[in-house]
Structure 1
Amino acid sequence: MAPSPSPLTVRTVAIPEGDPRHAAELLELLPDRAPLSWVRGGEGLVGWGCAARLDTSGPERFAAADAWWHAWCEGVEVRDEVGLPGTGPVAFTSFGFADRPGDSVLVVPEVVVGCRDGVRWITTVGEPSPHPVRPVGGPGTVRYETGAVSAEQYRRAVVQAVRILRSGDSAPATASVNGTGADSGAVRKVVLAHDLLATTSEPLDARYLLRALAARYPGCWSFAVDGLVGATPELLLERTGRRIRSRVLAGTTWPRPGVSADDLATSLLGSAKDLSEHAFAAESLAAELRPFCGELAVPERPEVLRLRNVLHLASHITGELHDHAASNGVGALLRLAAAVHPSAAVGGTPTGAAVELIKRLEGMDRGRYAGPVGWVDDAGNGELGIALRCAQIEAEGASDAPGGGRARLFAGGGIVAESDPDLEVAEAAAKLLPVREALDGPG
């Protein structure tokens, strides 16, 4: 009888202070082939190579991903000498916004380098293939053109949405998208988006975008998974043991000539329209999390998150999983993501009816824009943001620009009955700025 194959070994060791990898910025360690990233303020995870991969889709994509990941982790031998969140087996993941086929992916890197609270480590799966770090190349000349939905088409969709919201003429959902049964009734908020195509004269290096985004937005999570690259300010869910955390954003303003940042913040905190939009988002997320939590804290009023391109109303929601959710797997990060996605921040309120209205009015396939993106470990811990301020880079050779590259940029906003279509178009333009500026290089 042939001997059973040895299990794959996942090994995590600390990187000593004298090692050049200890002092280097995480993003500087990435090779140019399919980089993976989840970095904020210089800490987080980067990865490369592919030890395993799952492509999944449909309404059960989160459950399928969780089951596949659990089975994969069961089949490996883990030697973790560090024992921090993000050590041991880690998968980077990005999920499609909708249930369409082919959008969601989990990638297990051959190599992960992580940093948390000043501790630096490296995780390897098996015997990694060599991936030399080559110089980062710029995109050359960048040309923009209309995507699937132009700014004018987006404005018309907003006009239609406002009319529907004011009249209450939205078809109610017959069932909850997230299974809670709380989605009946007319739509009070719907999130619409549009896209923009960028064609570059040189190949588009994801690391170029990552470094520029991280430099300009150090308080955001700079991510890259399977060609989706961005810097999101919104944390959908973080799970560490029994503790969960979310940063909900809804309600936005942006810099204008002659108006100070303090005045903008004061105006945002006093805006009935923006406060109402934010309340929809925070309350709906809390409602989806409560069945899993023994404790859940939701701030009474939001604060203002200031970024260089926009200001958002923000609420930090924290909780602790109850015994049943913590012990039987339903509280694992990917299972929780199935319960809360799409949140009102990217879908609307009530969720089921709002998603149906998006299908009627928006007219484009979002792909993985506005879907969960981040990482998960073998204990069901990890971090998932919402894929905002991002671009999907086309695979090499897919672009019709000889020798160059192409990326699809996305932006949108929450629409309520009081929304002004012209202001919504301007807001979306402000949200496109992070990636547009990143294409111009580090700031």
Structure 2
Amino acid sequence: MSTLPAAGPARLIARTVEIPEAVAADLLTLIPAATPASQVCSWVRHGEGLVGWGSALDFATRGSDRFAQAADWWREVCSAAVVRDDLARPGTGPIAFGSMAYAAASQDDSRLVVPSVVVGRRSGRAWLTTATVGEAVPATPELIPASDPSSPGEIAFADGPKTAAEWEIAVAEAVTRITRGDLDKVVLARALVAQGEQPIEPQWLLRRLAAAYANTWVFAVAGLVGATPEMLVRLDRGLATSRVLAGTIRRTGDDDHDLALAASLARSSKDLEEHEYAVRSVADSLARHCGSMNVPETPFVLHLPNVMHLATDVAGAVDDGSTSLELAASLHPSAAVCGTPTPAADALITELEGMDRGRYAGPVGWMDAAGDGEWGIGLRSGRLDEADPRTITLYAGCGIVAGSDPDDEVAESDAKFLPMRDALTARI
């Protein structure tokens, strides 16, 4: 489904102007309170990034060619667009926020949304982009911080398709398959369903996630809301970078103990093996588009408020003209969200998870008219229920290898639920 207008005079008109940085000092507060959840867009980290609201254009697709269809649609939109861009830098001009389904067989649409209003802030500069379809120049909105969103009240949690005990059995079965040589690694996810007394507003969730997890990319696209620590790919004037996270340990809150845990994580053969699979998966996929690559030999430990991850930043110089979305398509699914070998891991996920991941663990981010953009992996996230705005389904997954212990994996998945659980319930 696409709302791209039929052939004729109607086309996207976009205008970008620079605004005082102080106006965009707190991007997330600029999203108007009355904006429907499906029209709230965000990609913010450490107070910088992009927020958007409204819908000038919206594209939805499914199937194995969903990435190609989305990329073609965006090229068509941009080739016909009338653009005035006073800054001409990544993130200005027409912007599409995107959230792609994890699996080709998913019943959830992959989405590209072109907001009516986008506000960006990066490296000491801020800008406003307005977009509309038609012949009229888009109106310039007044940017005023919105009032604090309402709390949904008390939150009740329920199991998703599998209880923790049932999911632990699935993990044990996966370890058995890996041990006998069917595959090397698989990532299994589980779900929780949360329901509030009142509607859960994405603006409320985004502000709370940003306050507690400033080191992540706080995102929202078409009802998928989260805080991902994992940059699948960033493309900025020909330079592609990807942050790989695989291998996790839960933090205790005791700084000295956490330092000792970080050291043990960096020496863990199980976690290093899992990380190596993920790095190799990303590097091999990115190399097909790059003339030169930089792949560090050893990972570093990334410290987040709730967990620590083994992390590696892979970089390459793109020489085939690929857009950021096309690079994301090539990288998806990486071993960090699927496993290796990919076909065997994907089949086992279908067999053991017992649910449609939807857009969880799929690429999420944004892209401009030049093809530059940032695409993370839709982790530490939840999908708001369109039919019942009080309900959100949360997701968390773990990488399973031969040395995995099912009890430990349940504990790790609980740790990965914490960002969304705390955003819904904790005093932040």
For residues 95-174 of structure 1, the aligned pairs below 5 Å read: 95-99=100-104, 100-126=106-132, 127=138, 133-168=146-181, 170=182
**Per-residue CA distance 1:224-279 (angstroms, 9 max, x = gap):** 00110000000000001210000000000002487711101100001000000000
**Per-residue CA distance 1:45-104 (angstroms, 9 max, x = gap):** 000000001001111000000000000111111100011110001000000110124320
Q: Does 1:53 align with 2:58?
A: yes
Q: Give 1:118 shift.
A: 1.2
SS of structure 1 residue aligned to 2:68: helix
In the alignment, is the contact (CA less than 8 A) between 1:111 and 1:128 conserved in 2? no
Distance in 1 (alpha carbons) for counterparts of 2:127 and 2:12: 19
Aligned to 2:23: 21
Alignment partner for residue 80 of structure 2, among 58, 72, 75?
Answer: 75
Alignment partner for residue 439 of structure 1, among 416, 424, 427?
Answer: 424
Question: What residue identity is the alignment partner of 2:289?
Answer: F
SS of structure 2 residue aligned to 1:102: coil
**Per-residue CA distance 1:180-223 (angstroms, 9 max, x = gap):** xxxxxxx1000001000001001111111111111111110000
Question: What residue identity is the alignment partner of 2:153?
Answer: G
In the alignment, is the contact (CA less than 8 A) between 1:112 and 1:124 conserved in 2? yes
Q: How many residues align?
A: 408
Query: Which moves more between the two structures, 260-269 or 93-102?
Result: 93-102
Taking a change above 3 Å as real, the CA distance of residues 128 and 104 of structure 1, as seen in their structure-2 partners, is farther
Question: What residue identity is the alignment partner of 2:361?
Answer: A
Q: Give 1:337 shift.
A: 1.5
Distance in 1 (alpha carbons) for counterparts of 2:128 and 2:88: 12
- TM-score by length of structure 2 reads 0.92
Alignment partner for residue 280 of structure 2, among 267, 280, 283?
Answer: 283
Taking a change above 3 Å as real, the CA distance of residues 128 and 59 of structure 1, as seen in their structure-2 partners, is farther
Unaligned runs of 5+ in 1: 171-186
For residues 30-429 of structure 1, the aligned pairs below 5 Å read: 30-32=31-33, 33=35, 34-99=39-104, 100-126=106-132, 127=138, 133-168=146-181, 170=182, 187-256=183-252, 260-322=257-319, 325-326=320-321, 331-395=322-386, 398-399=387-388, 405-429=390-414
Distance in 2 (alpha carbons) for counterparts of 1:335 and 1:257: 40
In the alignment, is the contact (CA less than 8 A) between 1:211 and 1:442 conserved in 2? no
In the alignment, is the contact (CA less than 8 A) between 1:26 and 1:113 conserved in 2? yes
Q: What percentage of aligned pairs have identical amino acids? A: 49
- TM-score by length of structure 1 reads 0.89
Question: What residue identity is the alignment partner of 2:16?
Answer: T
In the alignment, is the contact (CA less than 8 A) between 2:12 and 2:77 conserved in 1? no
Distance in 1 (alpha carbons) for counterparts of 2:107 and 2:27: 33
**Per-residue CA distance 1:302-329 (angstroms, 9 max, x = gap):** 000001110000000011012xx12xxx
Question: What residue identity is the alignment partner of 2:318?
Answer: L
In the alignment, is the contact (CA less than 8 A) between 2:154 and 2:425 conserved in 1? no
Distance in 1 (alpha carbons) for counterparts of 2:398 and 2:11: 47
Distance in 2 (alpha carbons) for counterparts of 1:442 and 1:229: 19
In the alignment, is the contact (CA less than 8 A) between 2:130 and 2:140 conserved in 1? no
Q: Give 1:129 shift.
A: 9.5
Distance in 2 (alpha carbons) for counterparts of 1:51 and 1:128: 12
Distance in 2 (alpha carbons) for counterparts of 1:289 and 1:8: 32
Distance in 2 (alpha carbons) for counterparts of 1:320 and 1:428: 35
In the alignment, is the contact (CA less than 8 A) between 1:410 and 1:432 conserved in 2? yes
Aligned to 1:176: none
Q: Give 1:339 shift.
A: 1.0
SS of structure 1 residue aligned to 2:288: helix
Unaligned runs of 5+ in 2: 1-7, 133-137
SS of structure 2 residue aligned to 1:422: helix
Aligned to 2:15: 11
Q: Give 1:157 shift.
A: 0.6
Taking a change above 3 Å as real, the CA distance of residues 103 and 152 of structure 1, as seen in their structure-2 partners, is farther
Question: What residue identity is the alignment partner of 1:201?
Answer: E
Q: Give 1:441 shift.
A: 5.2
In the alignment, is the contact (CA less than 8 A) between 2:194 and 2:393 conserved in 1? yes
In the alignment, is the contact (CA less than 8 A) between 2:148 and 2:204 conserved in 1? no
SS of structure 2 residue aligned to 1:158: helix
SS of structure 2 residue aligned to 1:439: helix
Q: Give 1:35 shift.
A: 1.2
Distance in 2 (alpha carbons) for counterparts of 1:58 and 1:7: 27
**Per-residue CA distance 1:140-175 (angstroms, 9 max, x = gap):** 01000111122112101100000110011x3xxxxx
SS of structure 1 residue aligned to 2:226: strand
Distance in 2 (alpha carbons) for counterparts of 1:317 and 1:6: 42
In the alignment, is the contact (CA less than 8 A) between 1:237 and 1:245 conserved in 2? yes
In the alignment, is the contact (CA less than 8 A) between 1:213 and 1:442 conserved in 2? no
Distance in 1 (alpha carbons) for counterparts of 2:420 and 2:89: 32
In the alignment, is the contact (CA less than 8 A) between 2:118 and 2:129 conserved in 1? yes
Distance in 2 (alpha carbons) for counterparts of 1:270 and 1:103: 41
Question: What residue identity is the alignment partner of 1:112?
Answer: V
